Structure 1
């Protein structure tokens, strides 16, 4: 399994850092806490998909939901994945980018607004590196560190200085230092190589972290801190990890998804507790989950469908440990469900299961983690507005 020099993704999180011991089987260096050295150990693999497929976003040639993992095509060279509300994109080891599903706003990057139910190559570039998907927009970096975005742009989430939709990838500014973009419903954030944090798009809940609720159509630096290592977007909130492994959250907090002990929105980053061992973080629609360096998983926020994995449906406004396992390697948050990679690259999901997104062969919600049978692998991805799941294994 060849190592690849590029940034590592743990669920929705993006950035650069060292890896906790519990994550060693997942990657040599992960994307979330203390160092700028990056060496991935993902290799390549088959693409497995399940859950909502109402727009053909699973790329299986139809619009039928899948309640169990199903292989998409026959390729064994997939390396990166991203899941939007009704579209998905995936990168192959050749550096090509492929997308499927809803294309109402051009979010597939095909130069048109025609939906597709099979993975279709976006352009001819072979330099794609990291891809993320918002509700109806997509952003991705090239190997040279430049960032491109496309799709819906009603709130300026493409970062192009206007609110016009784009049906093909367009470069965001001229900076070539992007190492970790992340996409919320209608906003985008990213860490640059200098460890600065930038956000743009919708800001109705202060999710841009700029101290106000005014939308931005171009990237704006969040404060002056230069120690950001990773950022993960929820639907309308963000959480980020600094070099010292502290965790900071801001934006919408109606369900306690900021982990601050209340339900008050924040328009600038606020530290979550005093812990200094956070290793990765992911944002769902209105919940957040994060892994500490000892491999322990914590979740908080909305829990109406059991997406916190705590055995009940009660919201939490501060981080609560999920079970007793110390072997969690990565976690990814969906609209109302959560999935994670555990020991030996086993896959676990919990929460809402209305479209089979838990991969259990049924539509029964689960309030505690349940193993997805028949698959192992990494990376694993869903999205804060999504009820679909993708896995490379």
Structure 2
């Protein structure tokens, strides 16, 4: 959930909670800073490839071999990682050799290891080493391989695995159709959206709040194209909503809007609606009912649910339009959003704010923070 001047921002767009990499050909990612937030835990990759996690650990989602919560970052082994994403109570990441690993809650097979056994340390997804991006939802996971194929596994009650609802739960990866030009994927609570290398956007799964962007309020069990445009770029999925940028820098959202997470006033939207008129958006990240996005000028903006101060504006007021976080102009597009939010700046410093009941802000306390605070990864 996934990962800063224009060239820097575009280069650092996160792959993740929902994957926000652009619609380009899938390929193994280089090592770079990346952050992901789950329901109450956080994981981040430093530019040296080290992976660090902290916060809630009741299901082993921190990957340290225990179920002990941590209020400060703890390193996950000594491997070199290139991508990470955090689901509700589990985590998945890709190593430098393009192997895929997952850990934490596995009640619905979301770890993809063929079981429903909880894992407190990373377990490899088979023996394949061709994984490019991964996105973790509430109880399902999807990932794109370097050959452009798309795979999903876990819970499938609403067809979020894209297989026509043939299975109810899949404990191992299964391919979504036969296309080999998938670029990026984003998983929500029970829906999935993905872009192809031609810039087309496809969604499937639950659409009870219009989160598929297909103009319907039911569900879709196989991928369906969202409109006819082929200019979609970065992509993210929240709890019951979806947001994406286009190649012209405009930002669009759709789905449930009870907290203003679509960046507009009014109720749910079943088709994409533009957020303002600005065309300088570099990347977007949604988590639960909160959304954050960076602009090409290095500013960071958030909107939606603000119950725990996760919008970073010093208040707990929900916002139906983007509100700027401070005056800094060196935020990257590598943002993680949810009840707590985190983001990297161009100087590779990591900042977190919002809910902190399980120590997910990494500052050694359980005190909520309505404004960004720096996190030390050491």
Q: Structure 2-normalised TM-score?
A: 0.90
In structure 2, what is the Cα distance between the partners aligned to 1:156 and 1:342?
37
Distance 1:49 1:285 in 2: 20
- Give a deviation string over 1:282-330, Cα, whole Å, max 9, x none: 0021111111110100111110100000011111101111100000013
Aligned to 1:153: 156
Number of equivalent positions: 359
> Match for 1:354 among 345, 353, 357?
357
* In structure 1, C-alpha distance between the alignment counterparts of 2:60 and 2:340, rounded to whole Å: 20
Contact 2:23 2:196 in 1 (8 A): no
CA drift of 1:374 comes to 3.6
- TM-superposition CA deviations, 1:206-238 (whole Å, max 9, x none): 000011111111111011111111211111101
Q: Is the counterpart of residue 23 in structure 1 residue 9 in structure 2? A: yes
Unaligned runs of 5+ in 1: 1-10, 376-393
Contact 2:134 2:141 in 1 (8 A): yes
CA distance in 1, matches of 2:277, 2:346: 27
Q: Are the counterparts in 2 of residues 191 and 228 from structure 1 also a CA contact under 8 Å?
A: yes
Distance in 2 (CA, whole Å) between partners of 1:351 and 1:141 is 31
Q: Spell out the pairing of 1:107-146 with structure 2 (5 A cutoff).
A: 107-146=110-149
Matched, 1:316 2:311: no
User: Is 2:278 the partner of 1:275?
Assistant: yes
Alignment of 1:1-393 (within 5 A): 11-12=1-2, 20-21=6-7, 23=9, 26=12, 41-42=30-31, 45-75=49-79, 77-162=80-165, 163-260=167-264, 262-375=265-378
Q: State whether residues 59 and 119 of structure 1, in contact with CA within 8 Å, keep that contact through their aligned partners in structure 2.
A: yes
- Counterpart contact for 2:23–2:183, Cα < 8 Å: no
Query: How far 1:343 moved relative to its partner?
Result: 3.2
> Is the contact between residue 57 and residue 88 of structure 1 (CA under 8 Å) also seen in structure 2?
yes
Find the residue that maps to 1:23 and give its secondary structure: helix
* CA distance in 1 between partners of 2:161 and 2:315 (Å): 38
- Distance in 2, Cα, partners of 1:25 & 1:153: 33
Q: Is the 8 A contact 1:34 1:245 kept in 2?
A: no
Taking structure 1 as the reference length, the TM-score comes to: 0.86
Q: Which runs of 4 or more aligned residues in structure 1 lie more than 2 Å from their structure 2 counterparts after TM superposition? A: 21-27, 29-44, 330-335
RMSD: 2.3
**Using the alignment, how far apart are the partners of 2:121 and 2:26 within structure 1?**
36
Distance 1:35 1:197, change over 3 A: closer
Relative to 1, partners in 2 of residues 1:325 and 1:236: Cα closer, same or farther, differing over 3 Å? same
SS at match of 2:347: helix
Structure 2, gaps ≥5 residues long: 33-47
After superposition, the Cα gap between the structure-2 partners of 1:311 and 1:335, relative to the gap in structure 1 and judged at 3 Å, is same
Question: 2:37 maps to what in 1?
Answer: none
The answer on whether the counterparts of 1:201 and 1:216 sit within 8 Å (CA) in structure 2 is: yes
Give the direction of change, closer, same or farther, for the CA distance of 1:361–1:263 in structure 2 (3 Å limit). Answer: farther
